């Protein structure tokens, strides 16, 4: 074993703060992360929308000049130049806003999804046992999309109509102050009605988002277990189950959609009345000689611009309400406080001594599994952990890795309470070969290198040779660059297990956990791996969970658990001479392995 400092990418990160819990605070958090980008985008959009309003005023000047009988270029040149110039400036500002908006919104959505994933992976393992993996993934993707829709809607559908309205008020003051006042009152009334209507429908939108995430989780769960579906002839049964879930989603979607349609109808009625009223009013003033023809054109253009813009505004506000419902649903599930603290102090490991001192642990709503349990493991000792299913073996291993926390007592490594050091620095010192090696849909080289990302190719090859998997890897069509498929389905169980052992060789950690490390291997492969493991365990503190007791023959110490209680502890040879649990289990397995005598 080579002692190494933790590489830079494994140094304990700064503990992230909990993300804002409310959707609006959450979105504002990422605006503040890029203040100059969003400020620039705001100014460009406001400038473009202001130019669009000013274009209408330029048209008024041009119409008034023509209505006055102007025949010379000098009399119409200024209004025409103003009109055309404002159109050019408006288009330039829109295009700049589109460029900056693309960079800003996309980058913010990237940050959102990465931060949510980082926060999600900080939850303890029991959290993932309570939620669909597919639903969690869908929620992160959906929240990124919802945030992008809100930022984009704010920039292109909400802010421009607001500027149009303010600009229209200023321009109408030059025509008739009563029109400006009427416009303010009417728009505020419509905005209040639409906003109240949208808020009332928020639960519908949130219900749709929740059911949509559930359907995504159900699909991923079914696809992940497609072998079981085929083996039990359950295709039709699963299709019907999925159909029921999708029907619930469709009902929730229809409810959300129809509510939006009602909001649109309300908005259209209100704005049509406003546009018609303003236009009739302007024509009446013209007939009385109080306003010019250009003023009528101005009022008409502004009214219809506000009509169309406010339609976009109303739809964007209602859509944003729907998206905020989806964000609230995701934050309620993912953005929960981490159940485990993660201090920044690294684990200072010198030897690998493990002291489990009077720990108490119970799963939620279950009786205590460990009560006042203690176990001391000197550095460099190889310890086999034996016991029936449910005796606490896997839980003990989980607590040692701090995948969950004890409720009382402490677990110490080289005198340091593992709750006082960062989780990453703790697990960086522990290599684990699980019962079923989990592989990513990446190349074999990348999967082995996962044990130590900074390792060179030659170090990966050496680890593969030590785990007796170099030969079969080189026989594959693309060798070490072969993709293993989702969860390693392109490889046999034994091959996946060997890659897991190669990872442990490469990681070269001072503490080694073997959880049924040879369970997926045939007899010949097991003999090869046992030889490799004999080399791997040298100079390390080793904890091996095993049902196949023959794999523990070379260990110095066996501890036997029964219902969370340490019932036997000692060298295997000494325990075999007694009449305890280990001795009885050994005889049962030995008798089962002995072929029956042939009938004579």
> pLDDT tens digits for the chain (600 residues)?
444 444 433 333 334 457 888 888 999 999 999 999 999 999 999 898 888 877 777 777 777 666 665 555 556 677 777 778 888 888 899 899 889 988 899 889 889 988 888 888 888 777 887 777 777 887 888 888 889 889 988 888 888 888 877 877 777 777 777 777 877 777 777 777 776 776 676 677 667 777 777 787 777 777 767 767 766 667 787 788 888 888 888 888 787 777 777 777 777 777 777 777 777 777 777 777 777 767 777 777 777 777 667 667 767 777 787 788 778 888 888 888 887 788 888 888 767 889 999 999 888 777 888 888 999 999 888 898 988 888 888 889 889 988 888 889 999 998 889 888 888 888 888 888 887 777 888 888 888 888 788 888 888 888 888 888 888 888 888 888 888 876 666 777 778 888 888 888 888 888 888 887 666 556 666 666 677 777 777 778 888 887 777 677 678 888 988 888 888 888 888 888 878 888 888 877 766 555 544 444
With b for 16 or more beta-carbon neighbours within 10 A and e for fewer, the 520-555 pattern comes to: bbeeebbeebbebbeebbeebbbbbbbeebebbeeb
C-alpha–C-alpha distance, residues 110 and 104, integer Å:
10
Could you tell me if 261 and 314 are in contact, meaning their C-beta atoms sit under 8 angstroms apart?
no
What is the reported pLDDT for 323? 83
C-alpha–C-alpha distance, residues 33 and 404, integer Å:
33
Structure tokens at 75: 């009399």
C-alpha–C-alpha distance, residues 357 and 372, integer Å:
8
Residue among 385, 387, 360 nearest 374 (CA): 360
The Cα-based distances of 502 to 122, 204, 547 in angstroms read 26, 51, 22
Residue among 214, 34, 249 nearest 137 (CA): 214
| Chain length of the chain | 600
Q: In which element (H, E) is residue 369 found?
A: strand 368-377
Phi, psi values for residue 355, rounded to 5°: -125, 115
Q: CA angle, 544 as apex, 539 and 545 as ends, to 5°? A: 175
Structure tokens at 214: 């559930």
Could you tell me if 209 and 329 are in contact, meaning their C-beta atoms sit under 8 angstroms apart?
yes
Q: In which element (H, E) is residue 515 found?
A: strand 511-515
Three-class secondary structure assignment of 68-123: CCCCCHHHHHHHHHHHHHHHHHHHHHHHHHHHHHHHHHHHHHHHHHHHHHHHHCCC
C-alpha–C-alpha distance, residues 87 and 55, integer Å:
7
Q: For residue 590, what are the contacts with CB-CB under 8 A and spacing of at least 6?
A: none
What is the reported pLDDT for 544? 87
What DSSP state is assigned to residue 335? S
What is the reported pLDDT for 507? 86
In the chain, the domains with their CATH numbers are 22-334 (1.20.1560.10), 354-593 (3.40.50.300)
Helix (H, G, I), strand (E, B) or coil at 326: helix
C-alpha–C-alpha distance, residues 536 and 539, integer Å:
8
What is the reported pLDDT for 600? 40
What is the reported pLDDT for 26? 92
C-alpha–C-alpha distance, residues 463 and 484, integer Å:
18
What is the reported pLDDT for 360? 92
Residue among 182, 322, 354 nearest 257 (CA): 322
What is the reported pLDDT for 36? 93
What is the reported pLDDT for 168? 76
Cβ count within 10 A of residue 175: 21
Structure tokens at 185: 């009152």
Phi, psi values for residue 370, rounded to 5°: -115, 130
Could you tell me if 491 and 442 are in contact, meaning their C-beta atoms sit under 8 angstroms apart?
no
């Amino acid at each position: 074993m080579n002692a190494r400092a933790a590489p830079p990418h494994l140094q304990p990160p700064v503990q992230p703060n909990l993300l804002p819990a409310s959707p609006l605070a959450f979105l504002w958090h990422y605006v503040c992360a890029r203040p100059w980008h969003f400020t620039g985008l705001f100014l460009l959009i406001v400038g473009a929308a202001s130019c669009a309003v000013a274009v209408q005023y330029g048209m008024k000047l041009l119409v008034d000049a023509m209505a006055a009988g102007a025949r010379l270029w000098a009399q119409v040149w200024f209004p025409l130049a103003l009109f055309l110039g404002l159109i050019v400036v408006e288009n330039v500002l829109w295009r700049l806003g589109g460029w900056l908006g693309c960079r800003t919104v996309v980058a913010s959505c990237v940050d959102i999804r990465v931060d949510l994933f980082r926060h999600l992976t900080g939850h303890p393992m029991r959290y993932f046992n309570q939620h669909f993996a597919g639903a969690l993934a869908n929620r992160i993707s959906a929240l990124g999309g919802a945030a992008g829709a809100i930022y984009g809607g704010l920039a292109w559908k909400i802010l421009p109509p607001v500027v149009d309205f303010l600009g229209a008020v200023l321009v109408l003051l030059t025509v008739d102050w009563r029109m400006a006042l009427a416009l303010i009152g009417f728009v505020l009334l419509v905005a209040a009605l639409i906003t109240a209507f949208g808020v009332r429908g928020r639960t519908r939108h949130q219900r749709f988002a929740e059911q949509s995430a559930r359907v995504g989780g159900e699909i991923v769960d079914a696809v992940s277990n497609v072998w079981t579906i085929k083996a039990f002839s359950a295709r039709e049964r699963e299709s019907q189950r999925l159909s029921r879930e999708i029907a619930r989603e469709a009902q929730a979607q229809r409810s959300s959609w129809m509510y939006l349609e009602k909001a649109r109808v309300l908005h259209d009625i209100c704005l049509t009345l406003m546009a018609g009223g303003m236009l009739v009013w302007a024509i009446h003033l013209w007939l009385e000689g109080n306003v010019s023809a250009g003023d009528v054109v101005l009022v008409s253009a502004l009214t219809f611009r506000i009509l169309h813009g406010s339609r976009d505004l109303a739809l964007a506000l209602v859509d944003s309400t729907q998206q905020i419902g989806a964000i609230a649903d995701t934050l309620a599930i993912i953005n929960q406080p981490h159940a485990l603290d993660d201090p920044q102090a690294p684990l200072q490991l010198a030897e690998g001594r493990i002291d489990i001192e009077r720990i108490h642990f119970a799963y939620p709503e279950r009786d205590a599994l460990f009560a006042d349990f203690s176990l001391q493991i000197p550095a460099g000792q190889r310890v086999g952990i034996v016991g029936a299913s449910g005796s606490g073996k896997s839980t003990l291993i989980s607590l040692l890795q701090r995948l969950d926390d004890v409720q009382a007592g402490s677990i110490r490594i080289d005198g340091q309470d593992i709750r006082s050091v960062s989780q990453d620095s703790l697990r960086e010192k522990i290599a684990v070969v699980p019962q079923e090696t989990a592989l990513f849909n990446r190349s074999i080289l990348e999967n082995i290198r996962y044990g130590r990302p900074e390792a060179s190719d030659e170090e990966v090859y050496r680890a593969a040779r030590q785990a007796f998997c170099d030969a079969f890897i080189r026989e594959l069509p693309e060798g070490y660059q072969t993709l293993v498929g989702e969860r390693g389905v392109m490889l046999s169980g034994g091959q996946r297990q060997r890659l897991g052992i190669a990872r442990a060789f490469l990681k070269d950690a001072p503490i080694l956990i073997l959880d049924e490390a040879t369970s997926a291997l045939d007899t010949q492969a097991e003999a090869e791996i046992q030889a490799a493991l004999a080399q791997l365990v040298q100079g390390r503190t080793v904890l091996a969970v095993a049902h196949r007791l023959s794999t523990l023959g070379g260990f110095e110490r066996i501890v036997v658990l029964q219902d969370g209680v340490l019932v036997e502890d000692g060298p295997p040879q000494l325990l075999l001479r007694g009449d305890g649990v280990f001795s009885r289990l050994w005889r049962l397995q030995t008798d089962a392995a002995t072929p029956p005598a042939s009938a004579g």
